[in-house]
Amino acid sequence: KQIIHDSWKHNIIENNYQKTKEFGNNEILVKKIHLKKGLYKIFIHIQDDDSKNKWTMSETVSLKGYNKISDILVNYKDGGKFYPLFDRSANNMDSIYCFFQLDDKQDIDNLKLFIENFEINDLIVNPIKGSDNFFNLILPTSLINLNDPTLIFDVGSSKKEVSIRFKHKDIDKLFKDPDLILEVMNYYGFINNKNLKSKSIEDKYKIIKDYWMDRDPTASTDKNELMNEFNSRVQYSMDNFSVLGPGWRSDRGNILINYGYPINQEISNSNDNRSTFLVWYFPNGRKVIFIDQDGFEDYKIYREVY
């Protein structure tokens, strides 16, 4: 027998007919239906507003009971609304939202969340108003320190698992030496954390990742341009300015890391030919003059002109 019948109008305008046949050209519509456990057949009818042609699809769904905790529905948030995260990819997201139901709402006090074998403390869990024992757990992606982890929801003797697609370690391809990068970030005041030697490699990468994710100018894309630019400046300084010490500690490294690459430079000798002057010009009118007094190309800042 028919349990629920619902209809609504949602206009999608596409002027290019060819694009209506492209698999990747889609739109997500979400409808919430509360059903008891059992076997259901769901029919969906879609009508083209211009041609009045109809498309029908159906699928049989089995809703099974659960012990203490239901399956986990992973969502993302956009414009104040929640949408299912069908591909389970949490890259470039600040948080994911895990919806679930409990047999007994008191069990929420016993809920534990593990990312693989690591327990997450201070969980952010909100009850869903108007729903029967439904909850929403907010998981900031900054807490995920593994590639493609499995999230384990533990309520006493019952567990539910859900796999997430997430690239945490991509950052280690860019920063192969986290100790060096953290030393640079401390030296230039990007962070203020001197007690890093005892931390694990994972914790060190997490500190780097959290800092640059918070400052990503285009969080919706795969690239973090600001982080890439920082790495470029550090590597260039090390490759080109390492004369009497690491290039990133040199005066030229200091200017490059803080101000970026000059648009032009000039080299000239002093009147007595004992010193060499190097002038860097920047787009904002800044000019930095360096001097090499010993012939080793260990240039020191001589003057800055604004």
Q: Which domain holds residue 149?
A: 73-163
Residue 23 pLDDT exceeds 60: no
Instruction: Provide the CA 243 distance to its chain's centre, in angstroms.
Output: 37
Q: Looking at the structure, do residues 180 and 158 belong to the same domain, yes or no? A: no
Q: Per-residue pLDDT for 169 more than 80?
A: no
pLDDT of 104 > 90? The answer is: no
Q: Output 106-112 pairs: Cβ under 8 A, ≥24 positions apart.
A: 107/68, 107/69, 107/155, 107/156, 108/135, 110/155, 110/156, 111/69, 111/137, 111/153, 111/154, 111/155, 112/153, 112/154, 112/155
For residues 137 and 185, membership in a common domain is answered with no
pLDDT at 24: 56
pLDDT tens per residue, range 37-75 = 889 999 888 888 778 888 888 989 888 777 889 999 999
Identify whether residues 96 and 116 lie together within a single domain.
yes
Report the chain's mean pLDDT, rounded to a whole number.
86
Q: Residues 291, 298: contact at Cβ < 8 Å?
A: no
Encode pLDDT of 79-102 as tens digits.
Answer: 888 888 888 888 878 899 999 999
The whole-angstrom separation of Cα 273 and Cα 286 is 26
Give the per-residue pLDDT at 11.
77
The answer to whether 221 and 248 are in contact (CB under 8 A) is no
150 and 78 within one domain = yes
231 falls within a domain: yes
Distance of CA 225 to the CA centre of its chain: 13
Helix axes 225-241, 251-259, angle to 10 degrees: 160
CA distance 98 to 70: 11
Q: Examine residue 121 and state whether it is found in any structural domain, yes or no.
A: yes
141 lies in the same domain as 173:
no
Give the other-Cβ count within 10 Å of 291's Cβ.
16
CA distance 104 to 135: 11
- The SS3 of residue 48 is coil
Residue 269 lies in a domain: no
Q: Are residues 146 and 202 in the same domain?
A: no
Q: Final residue of a domain: which of 163, 189, 218? A: 163
Q: Report helix, strand or coil for 7.
A: coil
Alpha-carbon distance values, 132 to 35, 102, 260 (Å): 12, 9, 56
Domain end, chosen from 163, 191, 224, is at 163
Clarify whether residues 52 and 115 are in a common domain. Answer: no
Are 107 and 43 contained in the same domain? no
Last residue of a domain, one of 8, 28, 63: 63
Assess if residue 285 is contained within a domain: no
Whether 151 and 115 have beta carbons less than 8 Å apart is answered as yes
How would residue 290 be classed by pLDDT, with cut points 50, 70 and 90?
A: very high
| Residues 152, 98 within the same domain | yes
Identify the band that residue 36 occupies on the pLDDT scale cut at 50, 70 and 90: confident
Statement to judge: residues 146 and 173 lie in one domain: no
For the full predicted model, state whether its pTM sits above 0.95.
no
In-domain check, residue 93: yes
* Neighbour count for residue 51 (Cβ, 10 Å): 7
Q: In this structure, are 131 and 83 located in the same domain?
A: yes
- Scan for tokens 């430079």, then name that residue: 265
| 232, part of any domain | yes
Residue 178 lies in a domain: yes
Q: Which of 201-205, 212-216, 218-222 has the lowest mean pLDDT?
A: 218-222
CA distances from 214 to 69, 88, 139, 171, 219 (A): 33, 22, 16, 14, 9
Number of domains in the chain: 3
The per-residue pLDDT for range 252-267, each reduced to its tens digit, is: 999 999 999 999 999 9
Q: Is residue 249 part of a domain?
A: no
Contacts of 80 (CB under 8 A, 6+ apart): none
Longest dimension (CA), the chain: 101
> Do 81 and 118 share a domain, yes or no?
yes
Q: Please tell me the least confidently modeled range out of 24-38, 96-110, 149-163, 217-231.
A: 24-38
